[in-house]
Amino acid sequence: MALSHAILVSLLDRAHSGYDLAKRFDQTVGFFWPVSHQQIYQELHKLAAAGRVQAETVAQSERPNRIVYQLTDAGRKLIDQWLTEATEPPAFKEELLVKLFALDDDNRDALLAEISRRRQRHAERLARYEAIMAEHYPNPAALNARRRGRYLGLRMGILTERTTLAWCDEALALLDLPAAG
């Protein structure tokens, strides 16, 4: 997936300024496709130049003018085409797992501390995802198609965090045992 697809999908429901889009990105797509706000602005300019989005300047009296981006028919066609393309499971790069290959008695405490720190971060993320779920998706069967898609993405995030927490608990318990001769 390219950043352009993520931006176009974020513009499906309504037009957004670059600032609003970046904020929305942080609270939605950014959970699993993290990018900087600068990258979003750069991609918006490319999409506008390619005719995939239309930029409209909105004058504001007390602030600088605002540029609002809206999906064009060409942008919608690009999304429709992209949706038909097969996807592959993501490549999994995890530095912590590589560090575990170096585990020995001398660095055990450092790795225990790192796994504990990671566990805390995953617990916080899970709590955030569950709060979003409770607030926005209490009844998945009553959702329209787009909201069901968002629900399913969030549901995968919740299940991933739960699985990661279970792995952290298992790793901490195993690393806490005395090593065999």
User: Per residue in 27-69, pLDDT tens?
Assistant: 888 888 888 999 999 999 999 999 999 999 888 888 888 899 9
Quick one: 45 and 73 in the same domain? yes
Note whether residue 37 is domain-resident.
yes
Note whether residue 130 is domain-resident.
yes
Instruction: Give the count of beta carbons closer than 10 Å to the beta carbon of residue 167.
Output: 14
**What is the model's pLDDT at position 144?**
92
Name the one residue in this structure whose structure tokens are 């931006």: 7
The reported pTM is: 0.76
**What is the model's pLDDT at position 31?**
83
Quick one: 117 and 161 in the same domain? yes
Note whether residue 19 is domain-resident.
yes
User: Per residue in 162-180, pLDDT tens?
Assistant: 999 999 999 999 998 887 8
CATH number at residue 78: 1.10.10.10
DSSP per-residue codes, 129-167 = HHHHHHHH-S-GGG--HHHHHHHHHHHHHHHHHHHHHHH
Q: What mean pLDDT value characterizes the chain?
A: 92
Nearest one of 50, 40, 34, 49 to 18, comparing CA atoms: 40
Quick one: 108 and 151 in the same domain? yes
Quick one: 17 and 42 in the same domain? yes
Domains: count for the chain:
2
Residue 125 lies in domain: 95-176
User: Per residue in 111-145, pLDDT tens?
Assistant: 999 999 999 999 999 999 999 999 999 999 999 99
Quick one: 14 and 77 in the same domain? yes
Opening angle at CA 4, ends 2 and 6, nearest 5? 80
Quick one: 73 and 113 in the same domain? no
In this prediction, residues 60-79 reach a mean pLDDT of 92
Distances, alpha carbon 137 to alpha carbons 12, 144, 150, 174, in Å: 19, 11, 9, 37
> How far is Cα 12 from Cα 4, in angstroms, rounded to an integer?
13
Quick one: 74 and 19 in the same domain? yes
Note whether residue 88 is domain-resident.
no
